[in-house]
Amino acid sequence: MSTLKEILTRRPVAATIRLTVPAGGARPAPPVGPALGQYRLNLMAFCKDFNARTQKYKPDTPMAVTITAFKDNTFEFTVKSPSVTWYLKKAAGIESGSSRPGHVIATTLSVRHIYEIAKIKQSDPYCQYMSLESICKSIIGTANTVGIKVVKELD
Amino acid sequence: MALSHFFKHLSFASSNGFCTLSRRFIHPSLTSLFKNINGKTQPSIPTKISHPLSHCYTSASEPASSTLLSPYLSVRIQCRKDIADMFSEALMCFGATSITVDEDDNCDTSNEICIESIFPESEDVDVCISQAADSVGLKEKPSYEVETGEHYDWIKKTQESFDPVEVSEGLWIVPEWKTPPDAEATNIILNPGLAFGTGEHPTTRLCLLLLRRLIKGGEYFLDYGTGSGILAIAALKFGASLSVGIDIDPLAITSARHNAALNDIGPEKLRLRLVSGNTSSPSIDEHKDVRKQTSCEMVVEPEHARYDVIVANILLNPLLELADDIVSHAKPGAPIGLSGILSEQIPCIINRYSPLLDNISVTEMDDWACLSGRKKLTGN
């Protein structure tokens, strides 16, 4: 629950911006530029901040970032790790999922891959309360929607 | 404003130009970008600049790439409030580069919300929106309107928000189009353009405060990763006799040169050099493009073991990779400052630099840190 002080000093929000930016590669060019420039946010401060915080990821991994722009031209942002589908596609080495998920299988992955992905996802803000097992189950569910089958061992 | 014309040509938009941007930066078509600048800005640059841009980059021979300056598509979509979140995520999956939800547009009475989305020019907006609507479960396609956005729009907007900033007592950073609030103080006049360093960021401030303590007068200073040139210019104002600024981003070099001129600093006192983005030492240029570009600059090789003070305000990974190179340029016992790191990254940097530096001390501001130490006297 927010404290009373937080509620009183809560700044009015001008907009919420969602972006995909490569890790360590934020620059004041599209997509960052037009989206943030519109609300007169300090582009270079965002780029530097974002790049510093994403140093631990492999360069050019597309990170999902949500920026809250306040009316006084300040902003806050949270960075999420790339989407599960991106990790799945990367692990399987495919560009796009199956065209008919559920009917046509694009490729297969082993349980070990899912486990590795789940470990990365566990550090995401919205997954922290979930057990590793439930994160794995949710990843398998996502894999099914893109036509990736999960097997115990890859032969 | 004459300068908005200048910066219109400095901007570059193509997403494909930047997906491969790790540290290998030199994009060949950028040299032709600067050829455009030569023609356009000569009439509008004020006469006090003694070193006009036309001297540089005239050897470009690559054809101009039109995708660098292509505008973007800005689409406004109406959709229901309750599915707005999911719909935005779906749009991102299908090709939008950014989604903005403006709080002001929210009308409490209607349950419709307006989403503004940006697409690259080549994207088929219609297909993308239908696919996103399908995947979310919307029965009919939401209504939308498309407009093309130009780059100078958002560049101009961000520039309007810079105000003079007092970094410490008697030291102000003033944007070019404002007057210094205190004419007696040390004023650094800046127009950062698209390079980093407006003076507001904690790392820039930490480095400026460090410089103020370190520069006593007459030193040779190296700004490793100069950005807008702010640290190099500050060093000269504090009394250094020579500043050299290097960067892998050609925009940074252009921006720094412009800022040097704004502060009446000539190219003999502030030398700027574009270096190649790979990890080899900047003084040995195997990279053909870089040699072509730097052939007409007044070049001073950042020679090894020649600088009295070095500051590198970049990012954690480059600092780790380039540690040996950064330290090699300093005289033994010379102070070296490192920044652009978050407080949580300090142990990593200390680990990497403790074999190279003595007396390591850390200053912090907000969440950012600046490390300073002296190069070890023994060894190289």
- Backbone region of residue B134 per phi and psi (left: phi > 0; alpha: psi in -120 to 50; beta: other values): alpha
pLDDT for B35:
38
Query: Chain B interface, mutation test: which of A20, A40, A44, most B Cβ atoms within 10 Å?
Result: A44
Do B190 and B228 form a contact (C-beta atoms < 8 A)?
Answer: yes
Closest-CA residue of chain B to A145: B135
Query: Is pLDDT at A22 greater than 50 in this prediction?
Result: yes
Tokens of B322: 């380039």
Q: What is the mean pLDDT of residues B291-312?
A: 60
How far is the C-alpha of A126 from the C-alpha of A78, rounded, in Å?
A: 11
pLDDT at residue A20 greater than cutoff 50: yes
Tens digits of residue pLDDT in A103-124: 777 788 888 888 888 887 877 7
DSSP B268-316: TTEEEEE--SSSS-TTS---HHHHHHHTTS------TT-BSEEEEES-H
Residue B160 forms beta bridges with which residues? none
Structure tokens at A142: 């996502």
ipTM above 0.90, yes or no: no
pLDDT per residue as tens digits for the range B251-279: 888 888 888 988 888 888 888 888 876 64
Q: How far is it, in rounded angstroms, from Cα A109 to Cα A91? A: 8
Cα of B154 to nearest chain A Cα, Å: 5
Is residue B125 a contact partner of residue B73, using CB atoms and an 8 Å limit?
yes
The residue in chain A having the minimum alpha-carbon distance to the alpha carbon of residue B198 is A44
User: Which chain A residues in 50-79 lie under 8 Å from chain B, judged by CB atoms?
Assistant: 51-53, 55, 59-60, 64, 73
* ∠ Cα B149 B150 B152 (to 5°): 135
Whether B32 and B248 have beta carbons less than 8 Å apart is answered as: no
Cβ neighbours of B315 in A, within 8 Å: 24, 48, 51-52, 55
The per-residue pLDDT for B370 is: 92
Q: Which of B14, B67, B69, B154 to mutate to test the interface with A (most CBs of A within 10 A)?
A: B154
In this complex, do A34 and B192 lie within 8 Å of one another by their Cβ atoms? no
Quick: pLDDT tens for A52-95.
888 888 887 888 888 888 888 788 888 887 777 778 878 887 77
Long-range (24+ apart) CB contacts under 8 A made by B139-145 are B142/B77, B142/B78, B142/B79, B142/B87, B143/B77, B143/B78, B144/B75, B144/B76, B144/B77, B144/B78, B145/B75, B145/B76
In the three-class reduction of DSSP (H, G, I as helix; E, B as strand; rest coil), residue A36 is classed as helix
How far is Cα B28 from Cα B123, in angstroms, rounded to an integer?
25
Distance from C-alpha of B11 to C-alpha of B153, rounded to nearest angstrom: 11
> Which helix H or strand E contains A50, and what residues bound it?
helix A43-53
**pTM, full prediction:** 0.70
For residue B75, give the chain A residue with the closest CA: A35
Size (chain B), residues: 380
How far apart are the C-alpha atoms of B5 and B2, rounded to whole Å?
Answer: 6
CB contact under 8 A, B92 and A18: yes
Maximum Cα interatomic distance, chain B, rounded to a whole number of Å:
74
Q: Which of B7, B23, B33, B98 to mutate to test the interface with A (most CBs of A within 10 A)?
A: B98
Q: What is the pLDDT of residues B37-70, one digit of tens each?
A: 333 333 333 334 333 333 333 333 333 333 334 5
N-term to C-term CA, chain B: 50
Contact B374, B337 (CB under 8 A): no
Instruction: Note the pLDDT tens digit of each residue in B196-250.
Output: 777 778 888 899 999 988 888 888 999 998 888 889 999 998 888 999 999 988 8
Among B312, B308, B309, B348, residue whose Cα is nearest residue B203: B312
